[in-house]
Each structure stands twice: as structure tokens, then as C-alpha cells.
Structure 1
Amino acid sequence: MSPAAAPAELCTPACVTRSEPEVPPAELARRYAALAYEIGVGVAQGERLARPRVLRARARGIMGALGIRLEVETEGPVPEPVPERLSVAGSHPGTLIVANHISWLDVVSLLAVEPVTVLAKREVGQWPVIGALARRAGSQFIDRDGLRQLPHAVADLASTLRSGRSVLVFPQATTWCSVAGGRFRRATFQAAADAGAPVRPVTIRYYRHGARSTTAAFLGEETFGASLHRVARARGLTVRVTAHAPLRGTDRRELAAEAQAAIGASELPAHV
């Protein structure tokens, strides 16, 4: 998430869809058991979890355990898979992947498509189990409210991109109940401009039985456990990831505006 101060949260847990039928207790127990297995495997893999093939397998395993279907659409050239070691000096920079932010599932879904370094708020690294997995997967953590650290965070991100590693960020700074959330923070786009890195906008949307849904949204003061339980109980949950054509430029304001337009942040909220 962006290190800049987060905007006032307009979406709350009251925005979440609750009318759909849920899975029976036996299926819920099976999903939790499968999820525990996937997390256990990830913990046991240690530093190997940061390897792209391993990370992709674990992300897909977590989605499968929760009964979530993944759909991927691409506009423009398909990004190359991230190599299993850092690119050599002099190679092309990595890609800054920017996406709208609805749920903690956003990260899992995108890692299931293309394993990259994730720039996350510091609190994620302190979450039980999930924090350990995030650290071992090579995530970078920042204090989104620490404005004094902003120049250092931008410089570190630019350095990572120059090394050839791609990085996933959520420039809305916090989660929203739909694609139409707060404006994009510009700091991370400065890192892409400094590194000469392309920006890949990605739209994330959630559906249940083909209709737009807020079931997966992680909002307000809701706990991670409560959100996880709602997702685990959901029938017919699908996440659709749409990768748009890459952007290039040297003006962070223009890059942020173009990325937000491509992602579709101007659409009206869809509370289904």
C-alpha cells in the first residue's frame, strides 16, 4: 500500500454482500483443513517460497482451498514471467504492477497469475501466519503513514525495479468495496519514472454466480479472521484479473491518472 496517509474510509463492513447462500458446515470444515494444509506447506518451504514457481503454486493452492475461481484477461502484451533469480546488471527494469484494492485476496490472486515482489503495509508483516508467509515470499513492508520515510521508500522501490524485479503496489492506499475507490497516490509512480520502468495497470473484480459481489471486500475495522470466514463460507466466488496495456512516462501525475483511468476507478460502485 502507499506510504502516504490513507484517505477516510467510505466503505465499511455494511457494504458487504450477505444475501447469497453459504456452503454447508462440512464443506466449510473441508475448506479450512485444505487452507491449513496449504499454509503449512508454505511455512515448511521457508525461503524457497520466494521462488516464482513455488509462490505461484502456493497462491493457487490457497485459492483452490477456499473454492475461489480465477479468471484472467489481458489487454496488450502479456508480461514475461519473473525469473527465479535477480536480473543481471544492465538488463531491463522490472514492471510496476498497480491494481485497485478491494481485499487481502487481491494479493493472493495476483501472485497466482504472476509471482512478484509485493509492497505491503507494515501491519501485514505482523499478522499471525500470513505475516510469516508474506516475509518468506519476499514482500517489502512500509509504514503507509510515515511521510518522513516516503523518499526512502520511493528510492528503495526504484532500486528494486532497476534490479529487474517487478513489484505489486496498491496506490489507493486502503481497501474499498468496489473498483471506484479513492484517488491513486503518486509516490510509487515516481519510483517507476526514476527507474525507467513500465507501469502495468490491473483491474480486480469479484463475482458470485456471475454477478458483481462485495463478499471478498476487507473493509473498515473488520478483522482478518472475520473476512476470511466470510470468504470461506461463500459459494461461487470468482475473482477476475484484467491486465491492461503497459504505460511509460516520466511524470508521476500523468502515470497515476492514466493508470487509474485504465483500471476503471471512475466507474460507479457496484454493491450486488
Structure 2
Amino acid sequence: MRSPWAVDRGCPASCVAEPDPRVPPGELARRYTALAYTLTRAMVRGGRLAEPRILRGEARAVLGALGVRLEVARAARLSAGGGGAGTLVVANHISWLDVVALLAVEPVSVLAKREVGRWPLVGTLARRAGTRFIDRDGSPRRLPHAVAELARDLRGGTSVLVFPQATTWCSAAGGDFRRAAFQAAVDAGATVRPVTVAYRQGGAPSAAAAFLGEEDFTASLRRVAAASGLAVRVTVHDPLTGTDRRSLAEAARRAVAGVAAPLGTGPQGLLNSASTA
């Protein structure tokens, strides 16, 4: 029996595009130096990395070191607030950089595949930041336990970020939304917050940040660091509530895959930026 956590194929590595334009060699070297300094500082912080103010600052510093501009459309917070329960934040998944961008908006607990915890340096930082790991290839019998744990966290007031597509795609519209996490939100009486993550370079959609197929993390990092004018846009949609996981999952998928709200429009319109090189 196929596990509900099992990974879909997602987009193939051939969907990845090399950055155009690229930064000159001197700027690329500066970015690597700045990133190494930022990651070393984050490691030295130890358990304090999980403190919201520190985690948000370090996430923004990583984006700044890589020359990635952060743009936030509409509401500035991921968590919906109110009611005592945490928020289930659900986003499309394009890149490892998605997590950094979302933590730069607001630190929340992240639900990630167990393999991330074994990545050199990144795994250590993820654990210290409070990431929760799941075995998506495990037995289906483990699923009720995983859902119950997520519901417990939400019920206790912790907001949790989940990527319900289960793997990475080159655009927000790729893949179905798995429903297990939405059942946890129903059980906890928690609000669901859909979020769209999109990448642009030179004002046009870009797949330079996509982390697809069996690609090596180092190769993906090199591509991101080499990109000139790369921006990540986070669009925070209206919160959702409901008592049916199927309806919640479909409503969240439609919101995430829809056209992003124009920046600076509406009563909550705003634009936040991390440093850009």
C-alpha cells in the first residue's frame, strides 16, 4: 500500500533554468564569503537560533548574502492569530530556498522530510531552528500518529509550515495537495493559511532557484548564488477554516496556484525587502 507521505515525481531536473544574467566572478566570491559568515554565526548561536527574532534575522541574512530580494505581497504575517490554536501554513514547494524566504517573513515551525536532517550543516541548523522531521516513505500505519502529533502542536498554539505537494515543482501550479496535514488542522480547530512562493529574475518568472529531481544541493546553491537580480515573492492569502479536509486542501491549492495579488494593493498591501546585492 502506497504511503500518503510518499514522494511524487515532481518536475524533472530538466525544468531547471540556468540564471541569466549571472553575477561577475568577484561578486560571486563575495556572496559565498557572506554566506559562510552568516551560516557560521547561525551555528554559533546554538539553541538560541530558534528564538523568533534571531531566526527571522538569520533567514533574512542568508537571502541578503545570496543577493536574493524578498518581496511580500498582502499580509505580513503567516500565522492568522486568534483563537488560541496555531496556524497551518501551506505553501507550494519549488526550492530549498522556500523555507528561508518564509522564515524571513515570520518564524514558524517547519515540517520537513527526514533526509533534510542528514544534510551537512543545513540539517544541524534545521534541527536547532525547531524543524520537525517526518519519514514520508514509512508505513501508512504511522500516518495517524503523524497527524495526531501535528494536531497536538497546532492545538498547543504552534504555527507549522507544511508543503502539501510533498515534493518540488518548477511552478506553484504543480502537483496535488496531500490531505493529511489538513486533517490535523480540522482536528485541532486550526486556521489554514495558503501561501504562494514564486521566483523572478529581471522581472520575469525564473526556474533558477528550483531544486528538482535528483539534483545535488551544491549545484543548486551555485546556481542561486550566481543569479543576478533574483527575487522571491511570497504572497500570503486569506486564511481558511473548515471541517472537511478535502474541501480545505482544494481551497488551499486553488489559492496557492492562483494569480498572485499585486504588490501594494488593498488595505493590507505592502512590500518588505531583504537586502539585495
Cα deviation, residue 182, structure 1: 0.8
- TM-superposed CA distance for 1:14, in Å, is 1.4
**Deviation at residue 149 of structure 1 after TM alignment:** 1.7
Aligned with 1:245: secondary structure? Answer: coil
Q: Any conservation in 2 of the 1:3–1:142 contact (CA below 8 Å)?
A: no
Q: Amino acid of the residue matched to residue 55 of structure 1? A: L
Could you tell me whether the CA contact under 8 Å between 2:59 and 2:101 is conserved in 1? yes
Residue type at the aligned position of 2:125:
L
Q: Give the Å deviation of 1:26.
A: 1.1
Residues 230-249 of structure 1 show CA distances to partners (whole Å, capped at 9, x for unaligned) of: 00000000000000000001
What is the root-mean-square deviation in Å for CA atoms of aligned residues?
Answer: 2.0
Residue of structure 2 in register with 1:270 after alignment: none
CA contact (8 A) 1:3 1:143 kept: no
In 2, the alpha carbon distance for the partners of 1:132 and 1:78 equals 26
User: 1:105 and 1:126, CA in 2 relative to 1: closer, same or farther beyond 3 A?
Assistant: same
Structure 2 matches for 1:28-67, cutoff 5 A? 28-67=28-67
Give the corresponding residue for 2:228. Answer: 235
Deviation of the 1:19 alpha carbon: 5.8
| Residue 148 of structure 2 is aligned to residue 160 of structure 1 | no
2:209 is the alignment partner of 1:208? no
TM-score (norm 2): 0.89
Q: Report SS of the residue matched to 2:137.
A: coil
Match 1:169 to one of 137, 147, 162: 162
Deviation at 1:3, TM superposition (A): 6.0
Q: Is the 8 A contact 2:80 2:239 kept in 1?
A: no
Once the 2 structures are TM-superposed, how far is the Cα of residue 227 of structure 1 from its aligned partner? Answer: 0.4
Structure 1 unpaired stretches of 5+: 268-272
Q: How does 1:131-170 map to 2 (within 5 A)?
A: 131-146=123-138, 147-170=140-163
- Asked if structure 2 preserves the Cα contact closer than 8 Å seen for 1:81 and 1:114, the reply is no
Alignment-derived partner of residue 23 in structure 1: 23
Aligned residue for 2:175, secondary structure, equals: coil
**In 2, distance between residues paired with 1:136 and 1:192?**
25
> How far apart, CA to CA, are the structure 1 residues paired with 2:78 and 2:130?
20
Structure 1 range deviating more: 19-28 or 206-215: 19-28
Deviation at 1:148, TM superposition (A): 2.7
- Residues 1:7 and 2:3 aligned together: no
Q: Distance in 2 between matches of 1:262 and 1:33?
A: 38
2 CA distance for matches of 1:47 and 1:136? 6
CA distance in 1, matches of 2:168, 2:47: 29
Counterpart secondary structure, 1:181: coil
SS of the residue 1:22 aligns to:
coil
Q: How many residues are aligned here?
A: 257
**Candidates 88, 94, 101, aligned match of 1:109:** 101
Separation of aligned partners in 1, 2:127 and 2:97: 17
Distance apart, 1:266 and its partner CA: 9.6
Distance in 2 (CA, whole Å) between partners of 1:111 and 1:18 is 26
| 8 Å CA contact 1:97, 1:167 repeated in 2 | yes
The whole-number CA distance in structure 1 between the counterparts of 2:77 and 2:42 is 27
Partners in 1 of 2:118 and 2:146 — Cα distance? 19
Letter in 2 for 1:93: A
Shift of 1:204: 0.5
From the superposition, tell whether residues 79 and 207 of structure 1 become closer, same or farther in structure 2 (CA, over 3 Å).
closer
Unaligned runs of 5+ in 2: 261-277
Percent identity over the alignment? 64
Cα distance in structure 2, aligned partners of 1:258 and 1:44? 41
Q: 1:21 to 1:58 in 2, by over 3 A?
A: same
- In 2: Cα distance, 1:7 partner to 1:40 partner: 34
Is the partner of 1:172 in helix, strand or coil? coil
CA distance in 2, matches of 1:150, 1:266: 33
